[in-house]
Amino acid sequence: MLKEGQVRIPSGCAISGILSRKGECFSGETIIKSIELMHDRSNGLGGGFAGYGIYPQYSELYALHIFYNDLTAKASAEDFINRHFDVENAGKIPTRRVKGIDDSPLIWRYFVSPRQFKLQESELDEKEYVARCVFRINGEIEGAYVFSSGKNMGAFKGVGYPEDIGRFYMLETYDAYLWTSHGRFPTNTPGWWGGAHPFTLLDWSIVHNGEISSYDANRRFVEMYGYKCTLMTDTEVITYLFDLLIRKHGMTLKEAVDVVVAPFWSEIELMDEKDKKRFDAIRAVYASALINGPFSIILGFSGGMMALNDRSKLRSLVAAEKGDNLYVASEEAAIRIVCPTPYSVWPPSGGEPVIGLVEGKK
Amino acid sequence: MSLQLNWPDYLVERDENKCIQCEVCAKQCANEVHKLDPDTGKMVSDDMKCVDCHRCVTMCPTRALKIRVNDLEFKPNANWTSSAIKEIYKQAASGAVLQSGMGNPKPYPVYWDKMLINASQVTNPSIDPLREPMETSVFLGRKPAKLEFNPDGSLKTKMPPQIKLSVPIMFSAMSFGSISGNAHESLARAATKLGTLYNTGEGGLAQEFYKYGPNTVVQVASGRFGVHPGYLNAGAMIEIKIGQGAKPGFGGHLPGQKVDEAVSRARMIPVGSDALSPFPHHDIYSIEDLRQLIFSLKEATNYEKPVCVKIAAVHNAAAIASGIARAGADVIAIDGFRGGTGSAPTRTRDHVGIPIELALASIDQRLREESIRNEVSLVVAGSIRSSADVIKAIALGADAVYIASAALIALGCHMCQTCYTGKCNWGIATQREDLVKRLNPDVGAERLVNMITGWKHEIDEMLGGMGINAIESLRGNRLMLRGIGLNQKELDILGIMHAGE
């Protein structure tokens, strides 16, 4: 049977995200509790988490989290890493045995910075250099897969129910100001750890519920800009879209949102001249970046998160606030289990982003 | 004097019990098939002249007429088919090039009919177009590499000229001359009502059509007929016609008898003179020459109109299209080998060029590999017969399609494929006054609007079925297609998987 990346597998899911806008760190136990409540939205074939602010001691280094199928893959990948990066620290990511989680690959972590002369030789900016190295490891080294590559953040994922995955990775030992999580319900059984969510690139992480019907239009668009969609998943292509629009095209998060969930023509016609001109141009130039079909996503980044629904709101998404904390989840119950008395709870409209930023961070 | 060895292709059958000798058939037939025999008082017909256009059958008040394909056959022979033999008889008698009208009728594969469209089930909801917005608008024109905004959110990037179509379907080039003024008028009015464009072809633009300018593509072809600054500025878009799917590498010839007073004025040539379009543009012998023409036209129109370059789908169309994009064209139109024509040499029409589906797939892929697909718009033509063909073309990577044969059929064309005779009984491909007035432009425009409206409803429904509510999300979305009965090479070129995969 073909595994993820060789075939496109649609899946339904549960998502949850919790942000402290004060930037106060809290352990991963909370997010596990939230996603666990939505157990029935997953089917045990994928779960994962992203935490931001978890590596304060290495905050200026890229944390590469890598799955290896075997030691040969590890040797080749490490050879590549040593040639392209200075490695400050490396080791196995600590895990514990959990019932229901087996067949785990080798899971390693490296804190690295680009080798200066290599970086200069490449004439790329640092982020592009790291991104290209990640693409090369994932595309060229058989059996090695980088599943997290940001600074002071990390993804933890695998095949299993999300709560089991969380305990497997001992997330209660990490403190983050932002946690996102995902439970997966794929309609096929690939059983590949790399295929679980979140999907990440540099500091971006995406958890996603839905099946976008514009997938191949979006994929073929981003692939024109040097991205390689090796997983054939919605999350992968959505991550690249945001990376392209924000990092490469220099847009703000809000502008990128205007592109991927551009308003309907019927709404644009009612706008004033300035906005009409803006959205006419967006829909003309970025027609292939419009994300269509049902989705709800949580995009995590250094300093905040954004939750977003497709413009027809074909997937559930609820948001809540209590003090400085912002909660988003597929179901309200998943918020109330960790925050029983939020000050406000609302269902964001289709295409209307919920953006939470940590004070003082850009 | 040569022997005439051919016999009639069609047989006119008249039910004598029904015929009332009203002579309607005789009056309706420009080919003069029917006449009243004064001796017997009965209607008789000369089958040899019949082109199977069905005008008489449709108009006969008592339904007394039927046209049958002549079933007289040569001895069966898989190699020397009856058409191969008859064409030799014709050439042996005339020494001439065989002429044909309308598109390639040979049984080549029609790839549209070998692709199937996807729909949503369970994991992704289909969208009901009666309840939810369904968007079919597209923009044609050059796109900047990226957009920039001012701090107040307004657009900073200067946008090149764009044309917004309410449906991704335009009426393709048919010149005034090759088709009648009333056919032209029907297309212009329908395009205006529908929010799309029609195309002048290389026939220039008669003064009374200038009012349709915002919905007009003005064409500049190798003969440069009717081209002047007023003409270029009259339209919404300018199209440089390099080639046509029905006759790639070939010019054009409008016989002098079709050049009446009105056609003469529009084309800026004397009445009765043949209008000959040369094979190539004699100022374009290479791609860098094309660039000069593109920018001359842009200069002439103050950079306010997108410039389209239309080529026939030929073997290396992908590389040519890439060159055209880099030469500065804003829109590239590709015309496949099944595209229609008023007149083409039969051998060229039937044997030169490639199917539009394959050309489109390879051009779209090539432009993507070169990271320039988003900069230009891609329009395809060459036998789009239905809304399903439109959907498939867009999923393969087109921004919009051109239709012409389908539009003429909506106006009453019965595909008799003899447009070049100038005796079109339906008032379409003719300039004969008595024939032209058979086509009422009010009715013609309404029928075109009806057809496109029907297609749009069908497009909405198929998009909704796929869980898509904006047509741009279908563009190049090849996962929405599967091949049926295609070999691996064909699937690879089309960039799609086989049904069941």
Return d(Cα A177, Cα A21) in angstroms, integer: 8
Tell me which residue of A346, A339, A347 sits closest to A323, measured CA to CA: A339
Convert the pLDDT of each residue in A255-271 to its tens digit. 999 999 999 999 999 99
Q: Hey, are the CB atoms on B368 and A275 less than 8 Å from each other?
A: no
Tell me which residue of A273, A351, A304, A59 sits closest to A178, measured CA to CA: A304
| Chain A residue at shortest CA distance from B157 | A281
Sign of CA dihedral A330, A332, A337, A343: positive
* A114 and A215 both lie in a single domain: no
Q: Which of A84, A116, A151 is the last residue of a domain?
A: A151
| pLDDT, position A185 | 81
Convert the pLDDT of each residue in A223-233 to its tens digit. 999 898 887 78
Convert the pLDDT of each residue in B282-325 to its tens digit. 999 999 999 999 999 999 999 999 999 999 999 999 999 999 99
Convert the pLDDT of each residue in A293-303 to its tens digit. 889 999 999 99
* Share above pLDDT 90 across residues of chain A, in percent, rounded to a whole number: 81
* A136 and A251 both lie in a single domain: no
- The answer to the question of residue A313 being in a domain is yes
Section A200-219 average pLDDT: 92
- The answer to the question of residue B149 being in a domain is no
Q: Hey, are the CB atoms on A187 and B154 less than 8 Å from each other?
A: no
Section A23-42 average pLDDT: 94
Can you list the positions of beta strands (E) in chain A?
A: 11-20, 26-27, 47-52, 62-68, 85-92, 106-114, 144-148, 153-158, 175-176, 178-186, 199-201, 204-210, 295-301, 304-309, 318-322, 325-329, 344-346, 354-357
Which residues in chain B have their CB less than 8 angstroms from residue A280's CB?
A: 139, 159, 162, 164
DSSP class of residue A33 equals H
Work out the number of other CB atoms within 10 angstroms of the CB of residue B485. 10
* A318 and A207 both lie in a single domain: yes
Section A238-267 average pLDDT: 95
Which residues in chain A have their CB less than 8 angstroms from residue B149's CB?
A: 251, 255, 278
- The answer to the question of residue A362 being in a domain is no
* B85 and B170 both lie in a single domain: no
Which residues in chain B have their CB less than 8 angstroms from residue A293's CB?
A: 120, 124, 467-468, 473
Return d(Cα B334, Cα B314) in angstroms, integer: 9
Convert the pLDDT of each residue in B198-225 to its tens digit. 999 998 999 999 999 999 999 999 999 9
CB burial string A75-109: b at 16+ within 10 A, e below: ebbbebbeebbeeeeeeebebeebeebeebbbbbb
- The answer to the question of residue B319 being in a domain is yes
* A200 and A278 both lie in a single domain: yes
Q: Hey, are the CB atoms on B141 and A221 less than 8 Å from each other?
A: no
Report B:143-202 residues touching A (Cβ under 8 A): 143-144, 146-149, 152-155, 157, 159, 162, 164
Q: Looking at the complex, report in whole angstroms how far the Cα of residue A241 sits from the nearest Cα belonging to chain B.
A: 13
Choosing among A7, A41, A188, A216, which should be mutated to test the B contact, i.e. which has the most B CBs within 10 A? A216
* B181 and B79 both lie in a single domain: no
| pLDDT, position B1 | 44
Q: Is B123 on the interface with A (CB under 8 A)?
A: yes
Instruction: Return the HEC string of B398-462.
Output: CCEEEECHHHHHHCCCCCCCCHHHCCCCCCCCCCCHHHHCCCCHHHHHHHHHHHHHHHHHHHHHH
Torsion of Cα atoms, B264 then B265 then B270 then B274, to 10°: -30
Report A:2-31 residues touching B (Cβ under 8 A): 8, 10-12
Section A340-357 average pLDDT: 96
| pLDDT, position A264 | 95
* A2 and A117 both lie in a single domain: no
Mean pLDDT, rounded, of chain B: 95
* B232 and B354 both lie in a single domain: yes
Instruction: Return the HEC string of A234-286.
Output: HHHHHHHHHHHHHHHCCCCHHHHHHHHCCCCHHHHCCCCHHHHHHHHHHHHHC
Choosing among B120, B124, B370, which should be mutated to test the A contact, i.e. which has the most A CBs within 10 A? B124
Q: Is A292 on the interface with B (CB under 8 A)?
A: yes
Convert the pLDDT of each residue in A273-282 to its tens digit. 999 999 999 9
Q: Is B121 on the interface with A (CB under 8 A)?
A: no
Q: Is the pLDDT of residue A235 over 90?
A: no
* A264 and A120 both lie in a single domain: no
Nearest neighbour of B469 by CB, restricted to A221, A287, A312: A312
- The answer to the question of residue B302 being in a domain is yes
| Chain B residue at shortest CA distance from A215 | B477
Q: Is the pLDDT of residue A1 over 70?
A: no
Instruction: Between A3 and A141, name the one with better pLDDT.
Output: A141
Q: Which of B37, B71, B96 is the last residue of a domain?
A: B96
What token pair was written down for A62? 């890229």
Q: Is B126 on the interface with A (CB under 8 A)?
A: no
* A86 and A197 both lie in a single domain: no
Q: Is A86 on the interface with B (CB under 8 A)?
A: no
User: By residue range, what is the domain housing residue B50?
Assistant: 10-96
* B84 and B170 both lie in a single domain: no
| Chain B residue at shortest CA distance from A252 | B149
| pLDDT, position A228 | 86
* A313 and A180 both lie in a single domain: yes
CB burial string B8-37: b at 16+ within 10 A, e below: bbbbbebeeeeeeeeebbbebbbbebbeee
* B267 and B346 both lie in a single domain: yes
Nearest neighbour of B139 by CB, restricted to A220, A284, A290: A284
Report B:460-499 residues touching A (Cβ under 8 A): 466-470, 472-480
* A147 and A273 both lie in a single domain: no
Section A203-214 average pLDDT: 90
Q: Is B46 on the interface with A (CB under 8 A)?
A: no
The total domain count for chain A is 2
Count of A-B CB contacts under 8 Å: 125
Q: Hey, are the CB atoms on B374 and A312 less than 8 Å from each other?
A: no
Nearest neighbour of A187 by CB, restricted to B123, B137, B154: B123
User: By residue range, what is the domain housing residue A263?
Assistant: 1-51+174-354
Q: Is the pLDDT of residue A8 over 70?
A: no
Instruction: Between A62 and A139, name the one with better pLDDT.
Output: A62
Which residues in chain B have their CB less than 8 angstroms from residue A248's CB?
A: 146
CATH assignment at residue B460: 3.20.20.70
* pLDDT band at A10; cut points 50, 70, 90: low
| Chain A residue at shortest CA distance from B374 | A285
* A41 and A69 both lie in a single domain: no
- The answer to the question of residue B4 being in a domain is no
* A91 and A209 both lie in a single domain: no
* B318 and B402 both lie in a single domain: yes
Return d(Cα B458, Cα B453) in angstroms, integer: 9
- The answer to the question of residue B124 being in a domain is no
Report A:48-67 residues touching B (Cβ under 8 A): none
CATH assignment at residue A61: 3.30.70.260
User: Residues 6 or more apart from B387 whose CB is under 8 A from it?
Assistant: B454, B455, B456, B458, B459, B462
* pLDDT band at A4; cut points 50, 70, 90: low
- The answer to the question of residue B120 being in a domain is no
Q: Specify which residues A176 forms β-bridges with.
A: A26
Concerning whether A229 is annotated as a catalytic residue, the answer is: no
CATH assignment at residue B48: 3.30.70.20
Q: What's the complex ipTM?
A: 0.90
Q: Is the pLDDT of residue A362 over 80?
A: no
* B87 and B170 both lie in a single domain: no
Q: Which of B62, B96, B130 is the last residue of a domain?
A: B96
- The answer to the question of residue B115 being in a domain is no
User: Residues 6 or more apart from B428 whose CB is under 8 A from it?
Assistant: B179, B180, B183, B408, B411, B412, B413, B419, B439
Q: What is the pLDDT along chain B (501 residues), one digit of tens a residue?
A: 456 778 899 999 999 999 999 999 999 999 999 999 999 999 999 999 999 999 999 999 999 999 999 988 889 999 999 899 999 999 999 999 999 999 999 999 999 999 999 999 988 889 999 999 999 999 999 999 999 999 999 999 999 999 999 999 999 999 998 999 999 999 999 999 999 999 999 989 999 999 999 999 999 999 999 999 999 999 999 999 999 999 999 988 888 888 889 889 999 999 999 989 999 999 999 999 999 999 999 999 999 999 999 999 999 999 999 999 999 999 999 999 999 999 899 999 999 999 999 999 999 999 999 999 999 999 999 999 999 999 999 999 999 999 999 999 999 999 999 999 999 999 999 999 999 999 999 999 999 999 999 999 999 999 999 999 999 999 999 999 999 999 999 999 999 999 999
Q: Looking at the complex, report in whole angstroms how far the Cα of residue A122 sits from the nearest Cα belonging to chain B.
A: 21
* B82 and B193 both lie in a single domain: no
Q: Is B440 on the interface with A (CB under 8 A)?
A: no
The total domain count for chain B is 2
- The answer to the question of residue B119 being in a domain is no
CATH assignment at residue A182: 3.60.20.10
Which residues in chain B have their CB less than 8 angstroms from residue A287's CB?
A: 138-139, 472, 475
Q: Hey, are the CB atoms on B468 and A293 less than 8 Å from each other?
A: yes
| pLDDT, position A229 | 86
| Catalytic-labelled residue, pool A13, A133, A229, A339 | A13
Mean pLDDT, rounded, of chain A: 92
* A182 and A239 both lie in a single domain: yes
